[in-house]
């Protein structure tokens, strides 16, 4: 029964990254194809329009009827309404406050008689109320709070109420620290206004009775915000509805309205923006390469190449990595790096990728890797009381680093372990006979060269013939 192979997402990602040459080539090819295709299209269009004369913006506007111009005027009014509403909603602090998390500071004042003065405290309280509600309080605050803000945005954060000789001022914000800052400025402004009022009326005292902070759910604010949003949606929807119904000439006039206004003010037939469109195209056609198309082709090449690499990784019948050994229950004794292989173009990038991929492993040099491999095989044999081992797999493949394993044979022979090598046991009967005689096998396979099913068959053959599989060695591609 065939084993289910594992798909290691990390190794799959590294396989895609290591296919950077395929990715670059695919990106270049599709970038060139997309660029050439768009260039030919642009060139053909330029040839077709070579002698076409485009009317000026003023000519287009003057060709419209009174009704068409009236429709443009109506549409612009709705556009202005929508834009002004959007600006207000973006700039207004009140519109940014979450209605269910409104931070508030309440200043409770009352007007107190001075000894010997009989005054109308309610009238003075009304004066303070008017000061808070008519924008005067906001005007006195805004300069010290933020002089870049318009006065109206501060005024709408302040509300007041009056009852007999009591005045209540409420300051709201989405940030309690800012609400406290505004409250502090409001108290200073009220104190200054009390001095002014005392100078023009009978003497009295404005007393801050309490200052309360809190978080409230303001459903009136929710309704106000909803009404503003609905008002904007209505105006914007009407504007877009009018614009959609307009013909091409009306749309051209709308899109270039500022240019047309400038042209009419200057009394010119055309301006610098439309000069090139009003003059007949010269006989020499100049078409530039579309950078957008080239980039689009490169992106398409990137995605296509990644999909191909992923498909190859998932569907390959070759051995991907050491995890294929573990699927078959074969212990991994070590890995060998193929030495002396041909250098590819920009092989330095591959070396950097090696360091990144195997950054969690110690970076052994050639001699250290040789010693580690010898030690792993020796210890495996010693622990199992074995003095003779057969190496089988892709070892005799001309692409395999035979020099390394010949050195392993000589080194282990000195330690009393006889190492013999041969081709895989599935396709070579003499190798199977030699392995059966020795009874102990170490499989040697090469990444992306050895066939997984062949290795699986080797393990099964060993089991059937009572041959002990001591482990596996993976030669990295």
Phi then psi for residue 401, to 5 deg, are -75, 85
Sign of CA dihedral 186, 191, 195, 200: positive
Domain ranges of the chain: 9-45+289-315, 98-217, 323-476
Write out pLDDT tens, residues 21-31. 899 999 999 99
- Interior CA angle at 351 toward 347 and 352, to 5°? 115
Tokens of 131: 């000061």
Question: CA 152, CA 128: separation in Å to the nearest integer?
Answer: 19
pLDDT for 170: 93
The CA distance from 439 to 449, in Å, is: 26
Enter the tokens of residue 282.
């010269």
398 within 8 A of 446, measured Cβ to Cβ? no
How many residues belong to the chain?
A: 477
Distance of alpha carbon 430 from alpha carbon 345, whole angstroms? 40
Neighbours of 97 (CB within 10 A): 22
pLDDT number for residue 168? 93
The C-alpha atoms of residue 377 and residue 386 are separated, in whole angstroms, by 10
Q: What pLDDT shows up at residue 345?
A: 66
Who's near 253: CB < 8 A, 6+ residues apart? 57, 60, 61, 64, 72, 260
**Any idea which fold 98-217 has?**
Alpha-Beta Plaits (3.30.70)
Pairing of strands 166-173, 158-163: antiparallel
> How far apart are the C-alpha atoms of 372 and 433, rounded to whole Å?
29
Torsions phi, psi of 12, nearest 5?
-65, -40
**pLDDT score, position 92:** 87
CATH code, 323-476: 3.40.50.300
DSSP string, 88-141: HHHH-HHHHS-GGGEEEEEEEEEEEEPTT----HHHHHHHHHHHHHSSHHHHHH
Token readout for 453 is 């099913």
Q: Which regions in the chain score pLDDT beneath 50? A: 270-282, 397-400
3-state secondary structure of 87: helix
What's the pLDDT score for residue 280? 45
**pTM for this predicted structure:** 0.43
Residue 323 makes CB contacts below 8 A (sequence gap 6+) with 6, 8, 11
Residue among 96, 108, 109, 105 nearest 178 (CA)? 105
How far, CA to CA in Å, does 271 sit from each of 55, 106, 234, 248, 383? 12, 59, 36, 21, 93
Q: Is 337 left (phi over 0), alpha (psi -120 to 50) or beta?
A: beta
List own/partner pairs for 80-88 with CB under 8 A and 24 or more apart: 81/235, 82/232, 82/235, 82/236, 82/239, 85/228, 85/231, 85/232, 85/235, 86/232, 86/236, 88/228
């Amino acid at each position: 029964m065939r084993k289910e192979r594992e798909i290691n997402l990390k190794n799959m990602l590294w396989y895609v990254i290591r296919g950077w040459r395929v990715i670059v080539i695919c990106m270049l090819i599709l970038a060139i194809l997309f660029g050439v295709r768009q260039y030919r299209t642009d060139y053909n269009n330029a040839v077709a329009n070579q002698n076409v004369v485009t009317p000026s913006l003023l000519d287009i506007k003057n060709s419209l009827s009174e009704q068409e111009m009236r429709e443009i005027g109506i549409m612009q009014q709705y556009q202005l309404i929508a834009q002004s509403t959007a600006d207000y909603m973006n700039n207004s602090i009140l519109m940014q406050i979450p209605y269910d998390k409104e931070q508030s500071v309440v200043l409770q004042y009352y007007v107190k008689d001075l000894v010997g003065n009989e005054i109308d405290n309610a009238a003075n309280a009304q004066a303070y109320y008017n000061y808070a509600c008519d924008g005067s309080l906001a005007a006195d605050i805004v300069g010290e709070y933020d002089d870049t803000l318009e006065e109206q945005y501060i005024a709408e954060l302040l509300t007041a109420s009056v009852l007999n000789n009591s005045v209540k001022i409420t300051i709201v914000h989405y940030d309690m620290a800012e609400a406290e800052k505004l409250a502090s400025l409001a108290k200073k402004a009220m104190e200054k206004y009390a001095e002014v009022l005392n100078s023009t009326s009978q003497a009295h005292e404005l007393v801050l009775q309490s200052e309360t902070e809190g978080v409230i759910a303001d459903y009136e604010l929710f309704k106000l915000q909803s009404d503003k949003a609905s008002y904007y949606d209505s105006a914007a929807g009407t504007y877009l509805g009018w614009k959609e119904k307009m013909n091409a000439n009306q749309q051209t006039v709308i899109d270039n309205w500022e240019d047309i206004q400038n042209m009419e003010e200057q009394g010119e037939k055309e301006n610098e923006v439309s000069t090139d469109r009003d003059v007949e195209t010269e006989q020499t056609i100049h078409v530039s390469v579309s950078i957008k198309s080239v980039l689009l082709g490169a992106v398409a090449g990137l995605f296509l190449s990644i999909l191909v690499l992923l498909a190859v990784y998932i569907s390959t019948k070759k051995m991907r990595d050491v995890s294929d050994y573990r699927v078959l229950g074969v212990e991994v004794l070590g890995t060998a790096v193929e030495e002396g292989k041909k250098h590819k173009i920009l092989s330095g990038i591959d070396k950097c990728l090696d360091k990144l991929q195997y950054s969690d492993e110690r970076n052994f040099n050639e001699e250290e890797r040789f010693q580690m491999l010898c030690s792993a095989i020796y210890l495996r044999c010693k622990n199992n009381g074995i003095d003779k081992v057969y190496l089988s797999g892709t070892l005799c493949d001309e692409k395999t680093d035979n020099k390394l394993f010949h050195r392993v044979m000589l080194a282990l022979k000195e330690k009393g372990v006889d190492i013999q090598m041969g081709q895989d046991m599935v396709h070579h009967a003499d190798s199977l006979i030699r392995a059966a005689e020795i009874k102990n096998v170490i499989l040697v396979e090469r990444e992306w060269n050895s066939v997984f099913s062949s290795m699986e068959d080797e393990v099964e053959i060993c089991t059937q013939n009572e041959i002990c599989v001591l482990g596996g060695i993976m030669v990295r591609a």
